[in-house]
Structure 1
C-alpha cells in the first residue's frame, strides 16, 4: 500500500479533505458527507456509519447497528488494516476510481466486502444470527452473497460486484480480484469442506464459476465465463466449459493486471 493508505492517520486526513472538496463541488451531497464524517476518527468508523445507514431498517435502527459495528471494530484490530488494504486494492486496480473517499462512498463491492468482514467477526464470535442478518441485508442492498463463515484475506477487490456468490467454506487469500457474477460454490447438498480455495494474486473473470473443494493456485487466472471443476495450477490461465489450461504466465500477477481474456 502507498504511504497515504498504509498510515491510518494520514488516510483519514486525506479522506476528510476529499470529502470537503466533494461537498463544495456538489452541495446536494454536503449534508450526507458531513453526517458520515461527523466525529469519525478512522476510515473504518466512516465505513461503519455508512454500512449502518445502508443495512438498517424500521426494526433495527441505524444507531443500534452503528453501535454494534463500531464495537466490533474496537475489538477486532485487524479490520481497520484489512479495510485500508481493500481500499488500496481498488484504487490501484480500478481505473474508474480516483479518490479514496469516492470508493468508500460509492463502490458497492468495497462496501459489501466490509459488511462481510464485520459479519465474519460476528459469526466467529458466536453471534451467528446477527451475522446472518448482516449477510441477508447486504445481499439485498449490494446484490453480493458472501457467507459470513467464509474466510477472505486483505487487499481483495470485488469489481462491479453484482452477482458474486461465495460459499460457507470458501477461502480467499490476500490480493485477489473478483469480477461481477463470480460464483465460488459447492456441487451438492453435502456438508463439510465443500467450497473453493483461492490463493493469492488470482483473478476470477466476469461470470467465472468455480465449484467444489478445488484449489485455484497462486497467481492463476480464470478467464471470463469459465467453469472450473478441478484444481488450477499456479501461474496458469484456464478458460472454457469445463475450464482447461490455455497458457502459463510466470512472474505475473493477474489480480493486479485485471485482464480477463484467455489470450492475455
Structure 2
C-alpha cells in the first residue's frame, strides 16, 4: 500500500456533527439552504468555515470580505491552537447554554461565540507584531457584535459568553479555561494606571450579568461572581462573591460553577 493510500482522514467529531446538523437544517428549512451551504457545507474544515463567517461579519467598505478572509485563513493555517480553541468553545456553548440545541448554532447564530473567534484572530495578529491590523479587528468586533476585547488580552479555551452584549475585556486581562460570563460584564481597570492593570480570572469561573471586575486582581479557580457585583479585591478559589463592593458570601456551591451555570445563591 502506498503512503498516500495509507493516510487516514483526520477525525473531527465536532465538525462532522456540525455538517450533519447543517444537512438536516437545510431539509427542514429550505429557505436557509443558501446561507447554510455558504457558511458550512461549502467548506472542508471548521477552520475554513470560521474564516468565511468571520470575514463576512467583519467586512465593510473599509476592508473587503476577500482580504479579511485571506488574513483569517492565514491565522488558522499558522496557529492550529485557534481551531482547537474554537472547537472547545463550541462544546462549551452547547453544554452550558440551555438555548443551544445544536453544535451549528454558535457558528451560525451566536454573536458571543463569533466575537470570541474574531478576537482570537486579532490576538494572533497582535502576537505577530501586526498591531494596527489587530486594532482594526478589535474595532470591527466592537462595532458588529457590541463586544470590546483588547487584542492583547489573553483568553483560554472553552469560553461561553451568553447574550454577549456590552462585554469589555481590557488590555492586560487574563481569562482562564472553561470560563462562563453573561452580558454586560466588564474586566477593566480602575483609572489611568499603566502596565498590568486588569483582572486575572482563573479557570472554571462563572461571572454573572452586569458584573464589574476592576483592577489587577485575581479571581480564583471555580469561583462565582454574582450578577451586578463590583469586584475590587482578590477572590479566593471556590467562593461566591456578591454586592457593591463585592464580598464573600459563601462557597461556590459546586466544583464547576461555570459549567453548572447556577447563578442563584442559597440564603440560609
TM-score by length of structure 2 reads 0.93
Q: 1:125 aligns with which of 105, 117, 128?
A: 128
Q: Which residue of 2 aligns with 1:175?
A: 178
Q: Does 1:59 align with 2:62?
A: yes
Q: CA deviation at 1:253?
A: 1.1
| Secondary structure of the structure 1 residue equivalent to 2:213 | strand
Indicate if the aligned counterparts of 1:12 and 1:41 stay in contact, CA closer than 8 A. Answer: no
Instruction: Provide the residue aligned with 2:145 in structure 1.
Output: 142
1:19-56 deviations in whole A, cap 9, x for unaligned? 12112222221111111235422212211101100101
Bigger radius of gyration, 1 or 2? 2
Q: Which residue of 1 aligns with 2:89?
A: 86
Question: Residues 228-261 of structure 1: CA distance to partner in whole angstroms, max 9, x if unpaired?
Answer: 0000011100000000100024752110111223
Please say if residues 112 and 138 of structure 1, whose CA atoms lie closer than 8 Å, have aligned partners that are also in contact: yes
- Work out whether residues 224 and 252 of structure 2, in 8 Å CA contact, stay in contact via their aligned partners in 1: no
Does the CA contact (< 8 Å) of 1:154 and 1:175 recur in 2?
Answer: yes
Offset, 1:98: 0.7
What is the correspondence of 1:162-241 to structure 2 with a 5 Å cutoff?
Answer: 162-241=165-244
What's the TM-score, normalizing by structure 1?
0.94
1:69-91 CA distances to partner (integer Å, 9 max, x unpaired)? Answer: 01100000101110000001001
Which ranges in structure 1 are unaligned for 5 or more consecutive residues? Answer: 1-6
Contiguous gaps of at least 5 residues in structure 2: 1-9
In 2, Cα distance between equivalents of 1:228 and 1:249:
15
